Structure 1
Amino acid sequence: MQRVKKILLWVLVAFAAYAIFTSPAQAAEIVKTSGSILGDGVKNLGHFFDALLGR
């Protein structure tokens, strides 16, 4: 199972490198959007716990 994980990780890294080299602008936009989504998720978790604690 460990070997499969290692192979899948290398395939993912190779695909990311290919995507960056073939279309850097689009890859940057994907990273930017992903960061925005993660930031919104963290902010919403904060709102959830504030509401849960009655603040």
Structure 2
Amino acid sequence: MPVLVKKILTWGFVAFLIYFVAFRPDGAAQVFKGIGAALMAIFQGLGDFMTGLMS
């Protein structure tokens, strides 16, 4: 991917995040809570898997 296109997409994404957080804070909070919950579930499952291997 050309550098200019990558830069434009990156700045567009940053602008969208700022807009989303500024004008839809409740929606943004729910999205970030969902992402956090998904990451916690993944790491919990990985931890359970590793514990199962060790015992």
| Structure 2 length-normalised TM | 0.77
Pairwise CA RMSD: 1.4
Equivalences, count: 54
In the alignment, what sits opposite 2:31?
30
> Following superposition, which runs of at least 4 residues in structure 1 exceed 4 angstroms of deviation?
none
SS in 1 for 2:30: helix
Unpaired stretches in structure 1, ≥5 consecutive residues: none
| Structure 1 length-normalised TM | 0.77
Unpaired stretches in structure 2, ≥5 consecutive residues: none
Percent of paired sites with the same residue:
37
